[in-house]
Amino acid sequence: MFRRICVAFAALMALTSVAAAETFTFTAIPDQDESRLRSRFDKVAAYLSKALDIEVKFVPVKSYAAAVTAFRNNQVQLAWFGGLSGVRARQLVKGSEAIAQGYEDQFFVTYFIAHATTGLKPGKDFPTGIKGKTFTFGSKGSTSGRLMPEYHIRNVFRDDPNKVFARVGFSGDHSRTIALVQSGAYQVGAVNFKVWENEMKAGKIDPSKVSVIWKTPTYPDYQWTVRGDADKRFGAGFKAKLRTALLGMKDADLLAAFPRKSFVPAKNSDYEPILKTGRSIGLID
């Protein structure tokens, strides 16, 4: 009898140990090249590991769609999504929540950029002179690199981008969009304003070759979204603890990795404008 009790106790302790050792994983949409993503989010993983007292691992993905798929399949429990990818993910995973966003994400903008040879100049009004040029979006699933610029293009020209431009491309990420327009491979493009500012500070943009010609009205964008079953898997109150950790991210070096001034609370309803815009141009069912 005593032996059976010992065996049962050992089995229980083994299960408890496995549960305690379970790794909390997160991903991020690949809005820049992978080496920069690793540099950014490995720091975040280390911070969260300490704040949550659990092993936290960053899992890179190759595309925006792959980030949503990893979240849906429970390969990751948390993701740094853009507005559109976050809406899609939350539609697929019942109970998932947007819990934090960058301060700047409350009023994000897209920059329309153009190569110097186009002769296009900065202005407050939508640049109708882009019609007939070659144009590159970012990723097909990007809020700032595809959803919002396409919305404004359709709204102004009342036509599909493929009919507005001589050629349409999808660069895959914002850094690549800047490089393609700067090189002249595309005459015009749409880019995340934070990536533009970051690349400018890093000296990767030549203002004599490429410049911002228009910025969109503001909209909500990036956010941290967590799966609805996180408390069940990692313990009661885990989501609240995670939110506190994200909002408490104050280290300047850590924030610069995003780059964001700080993080503020977010909720699903904040992204209703993205859902409505996505539906209006057929990117969300």
Tell me the pLDDT tens digit for each residue of 199-250: 999 999 999 999 999 999 999 999 999 999 999 999 999 999 999 999 999 9
Burial of 284 (C-beta count, 10 Å sphere; 0-12/13-18/19+): middle
Fold matches, 2-106+220-280 and 109-215? yes
Strands of the 110-115 sheet, one edge to the other: 167-170, 134-137, 188-192, 110-115, 210-215
Q: Which fold has domain 2-106+220-280?
A: D-Maltodextrin-Binding Protein; domain 2 (3.40.190)
Give how far Cα 180 sits from Cα of 115, 147, 171, 186, 187, Å: 9, 19, 8, 6, 8
What CA–CA distance (Å, rounded) separates 192 from 82?
Answer: 10
Asked if the model's pLDDT at residue 12 lies above 50, the reply is no
pTM (2 d.p.): 0.84
- pLDDT for residue 51: 97
Q: Which fold has domain 109-215?
A: D-Maltodextrin-Binding Protein; domain 2 (3.40.190)
What CA–CA distance (Å, rounded) separates 31 from 41?
Answer: 12
The per-residue pLDDT for range 179-189, each reduced to its tens digit, is: 999 999 999 99
Residue 136's DSSP bridge partners are 169, 189
